A and B are shown apart, each in its own frame.
Chain A
Amino acid sequence: MEVVERQGDYLTMSVGPQHPGSGHMRLIVTVDGDIIVKVKPDPGYVHRGAEKMCEVRTYIQNIPHLERPVIIDSCGILFAYVLAAEELIGVQPPPRAQYIRIIMAELNRIISHMYWLSIYGIFMGHSTMFMWPMGDRELFIDLAASIGGTRVTFSYFIPGGVRNDIPPGFKEKALKTFDYFVKRLKEYEKIYFNNPLVLKRTQGVGVFKREDAISLGVTGPNLRASGVASDTRKDEPYSMYDTIDFDIPTYREGDSYSRAWVRLEEMRESMKIIRQAIDKMEAGPVKQPMRGQIKGKVGEAFARTEAARGTMFYHIVSDGGKFPYRVKISVPSFRNLIAMSHLLEGNRLADMPVIYWGLDYWPVEADR
């Protein structure tokens, strides 16, 4: 922490930019004693120009670098890209590929939420809650790695389908892991979610009212914690989500505690979705073969999906060449950044880590 200026009773200081949990970003905080008066977020430390990089790379070469902004949710950020690129290239993925995509996207959602949960635990000084989800996350990484080949950045979705089929024996392995994890989530509730010490730290902290959440344009689990049942998977079903039956966990309170519960319930729903997707999947091709240089037709396409942090939106403009002319990524983290200064004002400085990480803000994704 560095003191920026002193003005009467107020003290302005800079928190960060060294990695307050997930990536480099800075908060310029003005405090009156222990109470935060004003917060100015200062993002941009990890800007890599992913959108500009897309303009000099082919549709396939764009895939590895586009998943770098959120490596823990790499399929979440790629899903919208491949949907938009498919529209421009003019390929349709086979049904089996669409179900495999759902499996991978939901596995990534669980992996991402587990990472979030463990850091949320350590931000409150609860070391057990850091160790347990990080350990159980390995089981899901193992499942995803058996399909994707690597641990986090799979480069697995490509326009026209997915790169390979799921391995034999995946279903048994996945169901065994889910049976274990459903029981494990009850233990999480005992040690953390119903723990009186955690309740004291999170209940009523950073309350986000329904009207504010809607008018500030917050998406994803943060919006659902404020009582709005909005989920792109239900509102505008893409891929095969319309054939799958699942619920949207919603809480009315809008505080840091309900934001944690939404994510816990979402992991349960994700497992439900994967179980259904495995059952509904029929044998068949996983990719539509493409010959020669891949070129997009002249025009533009957009796609909106639900990533782990909220609504992921891609807008691709093509001039008919092998490179996209312009790729615009609208990421959920940047939308949730608006909420941060709104929520922090009026709270104590000691509650800042809880509110900051409760929003699941990922600086690298926001800066892209």
Chain B
Amino acid sequence: MTEPNSTDPQLQSFIFAETQKQRFQVLVHGLTDKCWETCMGRPSNRLDSRTEACITNCVERFIDVTTFITKRLMNTTKYRSDSPLEFQ
């Protein structure tokens, strides 16, 4: 018998890939929710070009905001691993 905790490389890479895919899916669910609220009027026969453009911008800007906030937080917070996180 092999070591009880040994991980199978094939399963490991399968789980890794599926986790990545699922993270993407979760983000798409969330972004669709937000951008639908922001962009969608009354549902019609098709997505009109204005709504499409709004959704595209909504996704792009949301990512920009996340990136911006991440950068700014990294620059403005003093993080010390030996004490609780402080925000200043």
Question: A and B: real partners?
Answer: no
Binding site for B on A (CB under 8 A): none
